[in-house]
Amino acid sequence: MNVLAADIIEKFYLFLWPMLRISAMMLTAPVLANNAFNRRSRILLALALTWLIYPLHSWPMLDPTSAQGLAEAFNQILTGALMGLMLQVVVAALVVGGQAISASMGLSMANLMDPNLGNVPVIAQFLIVIGILIFVGFGGHAILIGIVSESFNSLPIGQALLSQNAFGQVLRWSSMMFLGAVLMALPIMITLLFINMGLGVVTRAAPSLNIFAVGFPALILAGLLILLISMESVGGRIEWLWMQGFSHLRDVVGVPHG
C-alpha cells in the first residue's frame, strides 16, 4: 500500500509541471480565457490537454515543496501566462480600433457591457466577435495548443528560463496594440474626416442649417456603410494580426516556424 501511494505521488509530481504551464495559458489566452468557459470546464480541459501532452515528453522529478520546485512552479506559470497575454494584444488592438471608429462615427457613447473586457463601444464589440470567429475559423486554438506542446522541447521544465531578449520581444510586440488598431481604423477614419470637412463647408455656406440634426445621422450612416464596404480588408487585417501574434509567440518561446 505504501508503494502504491509513493507511485501516485511520483506521478502527480510529474503531471504537475505541464499542468501548471497549460493552466496558466488557458487563464490568459483568447477564447479559452472567456467567462463563457466556467471554472469546471477550464479545469477539465486543462486536465485533458495535459493528459494528451504528458506521454509526448519526458518530465523531471522535482519536489514542488522545495525551493527549486517553487521557483520552477512560478516559472511555468509565468511562461504559460505570457503565451496567452501575447495573443491578448490582438484583442486589445481590436478594442482600440473599435473605439477609434466609434469616436469618428459619433457612437462613442453607445457602449455594451462585455463580461470579459468591461464597457466597450458597439463597433469594438463587433470587431471582437469577428476576430474570435476568424481565430477559430483558421484553427488558432489548435495552433496555440501545438505551440504549447512544442514549447516543452524549447523550454524544458527545470532546465530553461525565458531570456531577457524574450521579454524585450514581448514589449516590442505590445506596440501592435496601437499600430494594429490604426491599420484597421485608418481607412474609415480618413473617409469620415473628409465627410466632416464637407459638412463644415456646408455649414459655412448655409449657417441656418442645423448641423447637429444633419451631420450626426449622416456620419453614422456613412460610417456603417464604409465599415460594410471595408469588411474584407478589415477581416484580412485581423487575420494578419493573429498570424503575427503566433509568429512572435514562436520567437519568444523558441519554437521553430513551420
Given pLDDT bands bounded at 50, 70 and 90, which one contains residue 30? confident
Residue 108 has pLDDT above 80, yes or no: no
Let me know: does 154 contact 255? Beta carbons within 8 Å: yes
Please report, for the chain, the start and end positions of each structural domain, with discontinuous segments joined by +: 2-253
Nearest to 104 by CA among 183, 228, 187: 187
Given pLDDT bands bounded at 50, 70 and 90, which one contains residue 240? very high
Where is average pLDDT lowest: 44-58, 95-109, 242-256? 95-109
Q: What was the pLDDT predicted at 242?
A: 92
Give, rounded to a whole angstrom, the gap between the first and last alpha carbons of the chain.
48
Given pLDDT bands bounded at 50, 70 and 90, which one contains residue 4? low
CA 152, CA 141: separation in Å to the nearest integer?
A: 18
The label of the residue with cell 497575454 reads: 85
Q: Bigger pLDDT: 258 or 54? A: 54
Residue 182's Cβ-side half-sphere holds a number of Cα atoms within 13 Å equal to: 5
Residue 2 has pLDDT above 60, yes or no: no
Q: Rounded mean pLDDT of 50-56?
A: 85
Q: Bigger pLDDT: 197 or 212? A: 197
Q: What was the pLDDT predicted at 158?
A: 76
Residue 205 has pLDDT above 50, yes or no: yes
CA 86, CA 248: separation in Å to the nearest integer?
A: 8
Cell numbers placing 53: 501532452
Cβ partners under 8 Å of residue 70, min gap 6? 64
Question: Would you say the C-alpha torsion 113, 114, 117, 122 has a positive or negative sign?
Answer: negative
Where is average pLDDT lowest: 38-42, 158-162, 224-228? 158-162
The C-alpha angle 139, 143, 148, rounded to 5 degrees, equals: 150
Where is average pLDDT lowest: 66-75, 79-88, 158-167, 204-213? 204-213
Q: What was the pLDDT predicted at 1?
A: 47
CA 198, CA 179: separation in Å to the nearest integer?
A: 28
What percent of the chain clears pLDDT 90, i.e. is strictly above it? 3
CA 26, CA 89: separation in Å to the nearest integer?
A: 15
pLDDT, tens only, 111-141: 655 555 556 777 888 888 898 899 988 888 8
Nearest to 214 by CA among 225, 203, 223: 203
Q: Bigger pLDDT: 1 or 20? A: 20
Report yes or no on whether pTM surpasses 0.95.
no
Output the 3-class SS for 159-173: CCCCCHHHHHHHHHH
Q: Rounded mean pLDDT of 213-229?
A: 79
